[in-house]
Every structure is written in C-alpha cells, then in structure tokens.
Amino acid sequence: MKALVVDDNELVRGNVAELLRGDGWEVSEAGSAARAFELLGGERWSLVFCDVKLGDGGDEGYDVLRRFTAEQPDAQIVLMTGHASAVGALDAVSSGAYDYLPKPFENDRVLGIARAVRRGIEKRARPETTGELPPRPVYTSDIELVGVSAAFVEVMKLVGRVAGTTLPVLVTGESGTGKELVARAIHRRSARAARPFVAVNCGAIPAELIESELFGHTRGAFTGAERDRRGLLQEADGGTVFLDEITETTPAFQVKLLRALQDGEVRRVGSNQTVSVDVRVIAASNRDVERETREGRFRQDLFYRLNAVTLHLPPLRERVEDIVPLARHFAARAARQGAGDCVSFTSEAVRLLEAYDWPGNIRELENAVVRAAALCDHAIRPEDLPARVRDAGATAAAPAAPRAGEDDGASAEIVTLAELEARHVARALAHTGGNKQAAARLLGIDRTTLQRMLKRHRLDGNDHGGQ
C-alpha cells in the first residue's frame, strides 16, 4: 500500500501525507513533477495525490497523470486543485484520474478516497477476481461545458466515468440546462467517438411519424413513402443516438422502442424483415421520469432499460457561481462570430445576472448575453440587459417593507453597525442558499473577508448548505 503525494505547497503535501500514514499507507512526498517522475520508476504506486498546478503555475499535474497512467495503469491518481471547474473535472476523470478534489477539502474526503482504493486493491487480490481494470475512456477536449460550481463539477465527474462504458444513460434536468451538450460530451469521450452521433427530438415529431423516423420505412408503406428509407437508428449504427424528450412519446411507440433496444434489431415500417443495429442510447427528459412512470405515462420496463445511469443537471439558479463564467463565455463566442466586439461586464450588470433566477436556464442566459453584447458599447451595463433581468434585480435590492405595527420613521429600531452587518451577511447567505462564494460576490468582498465576518458574528454558513 504505497502512496505518493505531489504538491509544491509543503503544508498541503505534509497534511495529506500525514493523513495517509495514519491510515496505514507507506507514503513518499514530491514537491515537483520532475521529482514525481524520478520516483515513478523506482516503486509501484497504488495511490497518487497530485496538485494540478505545480512549479510556475502550469498544469503539470496533468503531465503527472498521463505519465503514471501510461507507465503504471494500476495506480489510482487523484488530482487536487484550488481552481476547480466542470471542464477540469471532466478532463481529469476522462483522462484516467480516479477523482478530482477541489481545495480546500475535508480530511474525511482524503481518507474516504484512500480507503476506497484500498478496498479495490484487496478485492482484485482475491483469487476469484481477475485483477483487470476497465479500459480507459477515450479523451478529447470540450470547451462548451462551462462551470465551476460544486454541483456541476460533481456531475461532470460522473460524465467522465460513464463515458468509457457502453451503458445507456438517462439525462434529466429542466429545459435549457444543456442535456444535449452533455450527451455529445459522453459520445466524444467514448470508444464510439468516430461513429455518428444522431440527435432526435421526440417531442417535435408527430406521433404517427416517429416510428418511421427512427426505424425507417419501405416504399409504399404509407401515402408519400415513395422510396425505401433508413431510420435514424440505422444512421447511428456503431455510434450514439440521443433521444431528447423521450417522455413525450406514446405508449405504443415505447413498446416498439423497447423491443428494438433489447434485440438490437429494427423493422422498417411496411417490412417483414429485421435489420441489426448497434447503438448506444442516451435519453433525456425535462420531466420527472420516475413520476411519469408511477402515473402510467411512461412504460416502467423502458424506464429500467434506459436509466442504467442517471445524470441530473442542476438548474442555473442552483449554480450561481457558473452564471458569470457562462456569460463571459457567451460574450466571447459572440465576438468571435462577429456579433459585436469583445465586451466586459460592469459590476452592477454582474449583480443583476446573479440575482435573476433564469427559468430558461443556460439557453435564456445565452440569448440575453448575445443580445446585450450586440447592443452595448464595449461593456455590458444594466440597461443592455432584458427588462425582466433588471426588474428582478431591483426587486431583490429593494428594502423590506415595515411589518404591520412597525414604524419606519424615527421610532424604528436603532441597531449597531455590527448588528446591521451581521443581518446583511445573513440575508446574502440566505439569498444564495448558503453558497459562500456566491454570497461574497454578491456583497462585493472576497471569500476570506466573508469568512472573517462569519466568524466575527458567529454565523454558521453551513446551516444553508454553503460551499
């Protein structure tokens, strides 16, 4: 049970090493990627904790990950980072990392990972197991998945793990949360990446035509069928089919789809012959699929067939930290596409963006930013944003009306500045659902200052589920 800790921060490196030694591991330490490579050839490592940014701040941790993965594929590599992002999590896990650990992290996270790795080693060492590890998933970059929030990072780690399998995946989430983007990311990181990715919006196809669209038809099968036609499942043969809005299909079609997925065969409308197809299915819905199943609107057997792995994409209002990175990404892309100059955001515009709930999620945010980028003069200001966004920000900033029986005049309660500060910080935390990073941004301070305020006023941000 040999572990290696690689970090140029001696305090972090020593803390992780001490935890592992206390848990029974034989631990070595390295302060640089070069030193880690020296140790690579001398020992067989079971577990490696490695910081992403080593030395001059480059992403040398990924170099360590690639070298160890290539030369010691049994080693489990955990990347540590103080700059966590959704794409970073996806890149790390897709490249073969065992886990992606945002700093600061609790000691229990380190011990939990170490003990899980130990259990895996012990299980592979038993005579009844082969000791073989699953093949590494194919990796490519995907810049469209933008986010730094803990919720989105966790989803992307799961995406990275499931991409290299052949399991069907069910993606759920509100409209506009990026379900097709996630499906494409899974396909592009799978062994089927060189084969077609076919997206089908089941809700946009009339019920009487969806069978023909997916399975194909023969000439003369119905009025207007002037020639034989391959279905979309055949077009996706060897690749991936993405069935969006799967819950909008009829029970009759669901029976035929289930049979096609179980048998790996399709029968064109009007034909008595079947054709073999090999497709991976990723389905998606903006509804609660389990509820649809319980209430009889979606077949239970098809639900079980599709949801070997379920990925739930959180709405944008639960990913407040991702709003500004997404907005900047959309503004930069609009500039590249000629829809205006490269622009920045004023602090008031940022406040309004973060105060709005975005019921249309990422799609609504993109439309708002592209419109603002086209109208503004080098910087997006509040007046460039849609009226609904400005109105929501004004409502959030308005002072609370006095309650019945209270006087907002001279007789109102006079409190100390310290008490006023404590109340204001508490309201900011409540507004962001306890997310400290978002609360600090809303208050116009850094997270360290917020932490000092919480300590000074004895406010427990964890009561709100803060990060």
For 67-112, give the secondary structure using H, E and C: HHHHHCCCCEEEEEECCCCHHHHHHHHHCCCCEEEECCCCHHHHHH
CATH class of 165-312: alpha beta
Cα 37 to Cα 16, 49, 98: the distances in Å are 19, 14, 19
Helix/strand number for the chain, H first, E second = 19, 16
Cα 402 to Cα 46, 354, 393, 429: the distances in Å are 62, 26, 20, 21
Q: Tell me, what's the pLDDT at 129?
A: 38
Q: Tell me, what's the pLDDT at 281?
A: 95
50-67 residue pLDDT tens = 999 887 666 788 999 999
Q: Tell me, what's the pLDDT at 144?
A: 66
Q: Tell me, what's the pLDDT at 135?
A: 35
pLDDT in tens, the chain (467 residues): 899 999 999 999 999 999 999 999 999 999 999 999 999 877 899 999 999 988 766 678 899 999 998 899 889 999 999 888 888 888 888 888 999 999 888 898 999 899 988 888 877 665 443 333 333 333 334 446 788 888 888 888 899 899 989 999 999 999 999 999 999 999 998 999 999 999 999 999 988 889 999 998 888 777 777 788 889 999 999 999 999 999 999 999 999 999 999 999 998 888 888 899 999 999 999 999 999 999 999 999 999 999 999 999 999 999 999 999 999 989 988 888 765 566 789 999 999 999 999 999 999 999 999 999 888 878 899 999 999 999 887 766 555 554 444 444 444 455 566 677 777 888 777 777 677 777 777 777 767 777 777 877 777 655 444 44
- 59 token code pair: 């992403």
Give the count of beta carbons closer than 10 Å to the beta carbon of residue 295.
9
125-145 residue pLDDT tens = 654 433 333 333 333 344 467
Cβ proximity of 381 and 331 under 8 Å:
no
CA–CA separation, 345 and 146 (whole Å): 18
Q: Please give the CATH architecture assigned to the domain spanning 2-125.
A: 3-Layer(aba) Sandwich (3.40)
**Secondary structure (3-state) at 443:** helix
Task: Note the CATH number of domain 316-397.
Answer: 1.10.8.60
Q: Tell me, what's the pLDDT at 228?
A: 82
CA–CA separation, 198 and 163 (whole Å): 16
- 322 token code pair: 């991702």
- Residue 420: burial class (beta carbons within 10 Å; 0-12, 13-18, 19+): exposed
- 429 token code pair: 């935390």
Cα 123 to Cα 37, 47, 73, 126: the distances in Å are 28, 15, 17, 6
